[in-house]
């Protein structure tokens, strides 16, 4: 029986989808936070506390380059710290407790940023919320990748993009309504809203089962089977042998991984077939920084303001809305039509084109209304294409690329490296766009046009297509060193072995039941 018989529909998997949707809510906090802090630097109320008066600035206030750098870059430093700690924490405590810890850190960070009026306090709050974001991003996306049915994994893990976009819209909307305050309330109101998401998430996680694959790695096989039953709900009703088949495939894959263990997880990432997986995984995660996303989400409102856009706060809301529409389109296409590889290539190819368009518009006529409109149009299309295809697809792809035993540490290290580059981008961008420094404005987009083109070339030559494969089949493909071009048509044996074992177990159970009945009949006869 082919593995495709386990490919039940969306309606049958509604329970697992809702569970993953709830866990992915963690990404909403990340989107909300980055949207709000990007808008604070264009608020009079914020600049009165942390900036200075500047008659040349459009709103009469400006912020020095150093605080501007540190406010955004300390978030990335905190995220680096968070993802470095994910393996040490997650190895012992699992996915659910990790979300609770991240929520607690988020509460503390929001409270600190609201209560302080000193840059030191603000910086520490940014680091702390970065740590919580590192936990949120890593564990929410690892969890959804591990528990999703193979044929629904791409759209389910792409909930990341939906929640980030919703968070960005909410954050930008909160900024737009509070920007008119000339007091601290201008930024304290959006910051106060940061309590809502982790509070809701903390309650939802109570009802979410632990990842079966994490439980199997811990040797808790019986608990893993119970968790898988809860996740699959009634999708295999009347076909319990298919649930047994999926569990056995999972169990066999995890046990084979553990048998192959030769050292620490940090060294195993770079040995044998895992080296190839780690390199491609890192490249996919680093595609976030190479896309230019930190130019838009870290300095979006300020960037639009410097580029001559008439309504920079409304432009930021519209940008987030376009990103959300892109994710919906990308999810629907990835479910039935296009694969991971094509989505990643389309995302970075389109990003290169629209970043180039922004640079050209700024070069032809900088700071004019016409160039502002052209820059805004290219920025909106860039966010639509990147967020909908590469941005949303990169997390399912990155999680699929690595084995279950190494997933958290590989994703954590890759995310940490990504945020080192994100910190570098956040730290250097003000030199390029600030009127007091190089004053490039939107011409900085030339850099990101080139980096997107380089990313496109790498993915074209090295990223395989993994659509529709179970995580255990992907393990088999890499362990057998299958070339990239042969991934879609390679015949995997993982599902067949699990099916054979399930039939064998069913036969044994049936024979034991008949034997028991025969014994009972004899006892009755006697």
What is the average pLDDT value for the chain, to the nearest integer? 81
Mind listing the pLDDT tens digit for each residue in 246-292?
Answer: 888 888 878 877 776 666 777 888 888 889 999 999 999 999 888 88
- C-alpha closest to that of 398 among 141, 123, 179, 13: 141
Q: Is residue 461's pLDDT more than 90?
A: yes
Max mean pLDDT range (271-285, 324-338, 351-365): 271-285
Rounded to 5°, angle at Cα 330 from 325 and 334: 155
Mind listing the pLDDT tens digit for each residue in 66-87?
Answer: 787 788 778 878 888 887 787 7
Max mean pLDDT range (188-202, 256-270, 417-431, 450-464): 450-464
**Calpha distance 167→148 (Å, rounded):** 23
Q: Which residue has the tokens 């250097």?
A: 428
According to the model, what pLDDT value does residue 502 have? 60
According to the model, what pLDDT value does residue 128 have? 92
Tell how far CA 472 is from the center of its chain: 22
- C-alpha closest to that of 142 among 286, 3, 281, 297: 281
User: What is the number of residues in the chain?
Assistant: 526
According to the model, what pLDDT value does residue 2 have? 43
Q: Is residue 513's pLDDT more than 60?
A: no
Contact criterion met (CB below 8 Å) for 171 and 39: yes
This prediction has a pTM of 0.72
Residue 263's DSSP bridge partners are: none
**Calpha distance 227→220 (Å, rounded):** 11
| Start-end of H helices in 94-118 | 95-115
Compute φ and ψ for 343, nearest 5 degrees: -60, -45
Tell how far CA 206 is from the center of its chain: 22
CA distances from 10 to 16, 154, 234 (A): 10, 13, 12
DSSP one-letter code for 443: G
Neighbours of 27 (CB within 10 A): 26
pLDDT bin (cut points 50, 70, 90) of residue 1 is: very low
Residue 53's DSSP bridge partners are: 61
pLDDT bin (cut points 50, 70, 90) of residue 214 is: confident
pLDDT bin (cut points 50, 70, 90) of residue 104 is: very high
- C-alpha closest to that of 37 among 196, 138, 168: 168
**Calpha distance 316→40 (Å, rounded):** 12
Residue 61's DSSP bridge partners are: 53
Q: Is residue 440's pLDDT more than 80?
A: no
Rounded to 5°, angle at Cα 256 from 251 and 257: 100
Q: 260-290 burial, b if ≥16 CB within 10 A, otherwise e?
A: beeeebeebbeeebbeebbbbbbbbbbbbbb
Q: Is residue 3's pLDDT more than 60?
A: no
- Residue percentage of the chain with pLDDT more than 70: 85
Q: Is residue 504's pLDDT more than 80?
A: no
According to the model, what pLDDT value does residue 82 have? 84
Q: Which residue has the higher pLDDT, 256 or 118?
A: 118
Mean pLDDT across 106-135: 90
Contact criterion met (CB below 8 Å) for 133 and 78: yes
């Amino acid at each position: 029986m082919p593995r495709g018989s386990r490919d039940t529909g969306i309606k049958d998997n509604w329970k697992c989808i809702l569970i993953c949707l709830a866990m992915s809510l963690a990404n909403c906090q990340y989107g909300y936070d980055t949207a709000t802090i990007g808008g604070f630097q264009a608020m009079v109320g914020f600049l009165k506390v942390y900036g200075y008066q500047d008659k040349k600035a459009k709103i009469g206030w400006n912020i020095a380059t150093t605080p501007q750098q540190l406010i955004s870059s300390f978030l990335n430093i905190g995220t680096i710290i968070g993802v470095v700690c994910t393996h040490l924490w997650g190895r012992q405590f699992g996915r659910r407790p990790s979300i609770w810890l991240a929520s607690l850190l988020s509460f503390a960070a929001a409270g600190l940023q609201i209560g302080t009026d000193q840059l030191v306090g603000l910086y520490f709050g940014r680091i702390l919320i970065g740590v919580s974001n590192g936990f949120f991003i890593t564990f929410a996306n690892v969890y959804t990748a591990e528990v999703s049915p193979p044929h629904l994994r791409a759209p389910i893990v792409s909930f990341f993009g939906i929640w980030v976009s919703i968070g960005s819209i909410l954050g930008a909307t909160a900024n737009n309504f509070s920007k008119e305050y000339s007091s601290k309330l201008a930024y304290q109101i959006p910051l106060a809203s940061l309590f809502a998401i982790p509070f809701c998430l903390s309650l939802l996680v109570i009802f979410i089962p632990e990842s079966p694959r994490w439980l199997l790695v811990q040797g808790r096989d019986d608990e893993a089977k119970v968790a898988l039953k809860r996740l699959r709900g009634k999708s295999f009703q009347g076909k319990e042998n298919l649930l047994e088949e999926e569990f056995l495939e999972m169990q066999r894959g995890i046990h084979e991984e553990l048998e192959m263990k030769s050292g620490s997880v940090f060294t195993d990432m770079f040995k044998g077939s895992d080296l190839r997986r780690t390199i491609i995984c890192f490249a996919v995660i680093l595609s976030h920084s190479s896309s230019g996303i930190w130019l838009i989400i870290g300095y979006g409102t300020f960037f639009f303001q410097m580029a001559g856009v008439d309504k920079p706060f409304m432009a930021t809301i519209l940008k987030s809305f376009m990103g959300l529409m892109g994710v919906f389109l990308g999810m629907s296409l990835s479910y039935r039509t296009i694969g991971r590889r094509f989505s990643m290539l389309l995302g970075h190819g389109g990003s290169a084109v629209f970043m180039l368009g922004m640079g050209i518009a700024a070069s032809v006529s900088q700071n004019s209304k016409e160039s502002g409109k052209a820059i805004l149009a290219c920025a909106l299309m860039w966010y639509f294409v990147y967020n909908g295809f590469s941005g949303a697809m990169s997390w399912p792809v990155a999680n699929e690329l690595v084995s279950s035993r190494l997933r958290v540490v590989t994703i954590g290290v890759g995310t940490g490296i990504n945020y080192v580059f994100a910190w570098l981008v956040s730290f250097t961008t003000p030199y390029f766009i600030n009127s007091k420094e190089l004053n490039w404005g939107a011409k900085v987009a030339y850099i990101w046009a080139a980096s997107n083109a380089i990313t496109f070339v790498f993915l074209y030559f090295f990223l395989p297509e993994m659509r529709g494969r179970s995580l255990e089949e992907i393990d088999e493909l890499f362990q057998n060193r299958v070339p990239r071009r042969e991934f879609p048509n390679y015949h995997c044996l993982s599902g067949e072995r699990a099916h054979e074992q399930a039939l064998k177990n069913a036969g044994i159970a049936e024979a034991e039941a008949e034997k028991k009945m025969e014994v009972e009949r004899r006892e009755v006869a006697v």
